[in-house]
Structure 1
Amino acid sequence: MKTLCILVLCCSLTCQAADFIAVTESMPPMQQELDGQVCGENVELVQQIVSKAGLSAEFRLYPWARAYKMAQQQANTLIFAMARTPEREKRFYWIGKLVEFKLGLVRLQQRGEPIQRLEQLKGKTIAVQRDDSVYQWLIKAGFSEGNQLIVAASSEQSWALLANGKVDYVVENPRFLPEIERRTQLDKGALVVDMTIADLSSSAYLAASLATSPALVQRLQQAYQQVME
């Protein structure tokens, strides 16, 4: 992890004008900020792809809605790790899949009774990040802001809302539960998954803005294939 941070730092210091801005949201341990640098498993993989293509990138963490807006509007912008939904298909160039993930309804073990059907969520509150795949899916399912949906700026803010009893649920990857408990100072086993949501099981991708040069996109796609071999 320390080596990765040094690599990203060197890139930001030596490349006065990086070829790309690579944006993402904080989602420890996959992508996070440590000692002022963007690090994590997904960051490392994206850095390998960019380097293999003979290019450079400056990594930045933003709230998801801001990162998503930047990646739609600005040239030479990469975004990760993003679910490849039908609504997004024609809005980006898709470089390649980074990781598979499953999502479930996570709550404090001591709070409330477990639910078994999504209909039971109608009377609950859920922390979400605006414009991410979970938010969009819940909106389509009939949930709304100010009622069931409490919008947070980041995953970590959603975790804090849950830990402090401000919301009933977050929708999160079950593998992150130990990290969430550690970061919110909850006891081990304080969080439980009531149920997984099959519709939100997906693959997370590296993508580029449509304003990016097709030649650069092709270089990244070729580099992706080489890295993933």
Structure 2
Amino acid sequence: MTAFLGSFCLFAKADVVRFIAEDLPPYHFLNEQGKADGVLVEIAKALKAHSGLEAKFDILPMARAHHELQTKSDVVMLAWLKTPSRAKNYQFLGVMCQTSASLMGLKSNIISLSSLEQAKQYRVSTIRGYYSEQYLKKAGFSEEHDLVLASHYKSMWHMLYRGRTDFVLTNTRTLQRELDELGLDPALLESKLTLHDFPSELHLAANLQFPKSQARKIQDSLKAIKLSGRYDEIVRKWRLLD
């Protein structure tokens, strides 16, 4: 009887979907009460309600979140860029939002860029472990010469504003909230180069071991809340417009 109950508990636990994400406001972050919050967290909660799935929400350091996504069969990443290599190794369950990427610099830096190749003459920063690191390295940037990798967006922005780097490659959608949090003046900043070939869709993602039945429920629920208007209602509430 004990063995049976143990097996049942393990099965029940496996049915709980863990939605995970890094600390990246306004998409997903820990609020003042220490709870997961943000526009994509709220959308995921709407998916939970529509699908009937049991779910929990965790905000983790990016390196740990990536490890959990790779190794755990109950995990769904709230926002992950879809790239050709990732599409082969993960399940992508639907687009959560669109974004755009630019090289940002201080207005006081009078350098003007016409291409990414030109930026190799300067110090370009992004966050270690992000797809943007792979993107820059594929373009020929290296840590030995022109690439400065930060562990978090806070240190990335501080390095730029203190003149330790020339440009940062970043998602422009989160820029205002990040700078406000750090007490940095966004009026001092401007886009130096928009990267049109950078992937723009942030998806729900799971590894290949994530149950297909749960994946279908999440996919169907995301379509449903978009059709019903609930998705747009949440996006408007957070003032995050596609």
| TM-score (structure 1 length as normaliser) | 0.84
- 1:98-117 equivalent positions in 2, closer than 5 A: 98-117=96-115
| 1:64–1:153 CA contact under 8 A, matched in 2 | no
Distance in 1, Cα, partners of 2:123 & 2:61: 21
Deviation track 1:141-178 (CA, whole Å, cap 9, x = no partner) reads 11122432222223333223223332222112334343
Residue in 2 aligned with 1:3? none
- 1:33-112 equivalent positions in 2, closer than 5 A: 33-35=30-32, 36-112=34-110
1:215 Cα offset (Å): 1.4
Residue in 1 aligned with 2:16? 19
Distance in 2, Cα, partners of 1:175 & 1:219: 29
Percent identity between matched residues is 28
The structure having more radius of gyration, on CA atoms, is 2
Runs of 4+ in 1 over 4 A off after TM superposition: none
Distance in 1, Cα, partners of 2:90 & 2:122: 34
- 1:52-201 equivalent positions in 2, closer than 5 A: 52-201=50-199
Residue in 1 aligned with 2:209? 211
SS in 2 for 1:200: coil
How many residues of Structure 1 are paired with residues of Structure 2 in the alignment?
Answer: 215
| TM-score (structure 2 length as normaliser) | 0.80
In structure 1, stretches of 5+ residues that fail to align are 1-15
Which segment is superposed worse, 140-149 or 39-48? 140-149
Distance in 1, Cα, partners of 2:45 & 2:157: 27
Query: What amino acid is aligned across from residue 136 of structure 1 in structure 2?
Result: Q
In structure 2, stretches of 5+ residues that fail to align are 1-12, 228-242
1:87 Cα offset (Å): 0.8
| Aligned residues: CA RMSD | 2.2
Residue in 1 aligned with 2:29? 32
1:135 Cα offset (Å): 1.2
Which segment is superposed worse, 156-165 or 97-106? 156-165
